[in-house]
Amino acid sequence: MPTPLLLFIALAVILRFAALRVSLRNEARMKRDGAVEFHARTSAVLAAVHIAYYLCAIGEAEVTGAAVSGLSIAGMVLWALSMLALGWVMRVLGRFWTVKIIVARDHHLVTNALFRRLRHPNYILNLLPEMIGLALALSAWWTLAVGLPVYLAVLALRIRQEEAIMRGHFPDY
C-alpha cells in the first residue's frame, strides 16, 4: 500500500482512539456524578460496526492494492472535514460529549445555532462523512456498498433512541 494511504490510516486510527479516550473520561466523570446511560447495547453495536467498517476498509485496500488517486484524495479531504466537525461537536458539548447516550444530573440542552437547525450534527457532519471519506480514501468499494447500509441501519436506531431520551429529559427539545 502506498505510504500516503498508510499515513492516512495511522492518522485515522490515532484520532479515533483520541476521541474515544475523551469519551471514556467524560463518561467516567458523569457516571461518578450520578449520570444514567441509556441503550448501552445499541452503543456497543454501533461501536462494533464502526470498528468493523474501519477494519474492512483497511483490509479491502490492502487486498485490492489501493492507490492514491484524485478520488482517494477527495476521500481524505472529506474524512478530514468530518474530523474537524467531530472536534467542533466535542468542543460545543464539552464534558457532556461521549460516544454513548448518557444524561448527567446537570445536563443542559445545547441550543446554539447549528444544534437548533440540525438535530444530530455529530452523526450528519462527522460519522457519515467519516465513513464515506474513509472508503473513498482507501478505494474500499465493497465496504462502502455493504458496510455503509449496515452502519446506517444501526445509526438510524441510535438516532430514534436518542430522540426519545432527549424528548423525555428536555421539555424544550
Domains and CATH numbers, the chain: 3-169 (1.20.120.1630)
> What region does 135 belong to: left with phi over 0, alpha with psi -120 to 50, or beta?
alpha
Mean pLDDT of 127-152: 98
CB 67 within 8 A of CB 75: no
How do residues 118-127 score in pLDDT, each as one tens digit? 889 999 999 9
pLDDT at position 112 over 90: no
DSSP letters spanning 92-104: HHGGG--SSEEE-
pLDDT at position 135 over 90: yes
Q: Look at residue 113 in the predicted model and tell me its pLDDT.
A: 86
* Integer Cα distance of 16 and 130 in angstroms: 11
Question: Could you tell me the three cell numbers for 161?
Answer: 433512541
Q: Look at residue 129 in the predicted model and tell me its pLDDT.
A: 98
pLDDT at position 96 over 90: yes
- Predicted model pTM: 0.93
pLDDT at position 14 over 90: yes
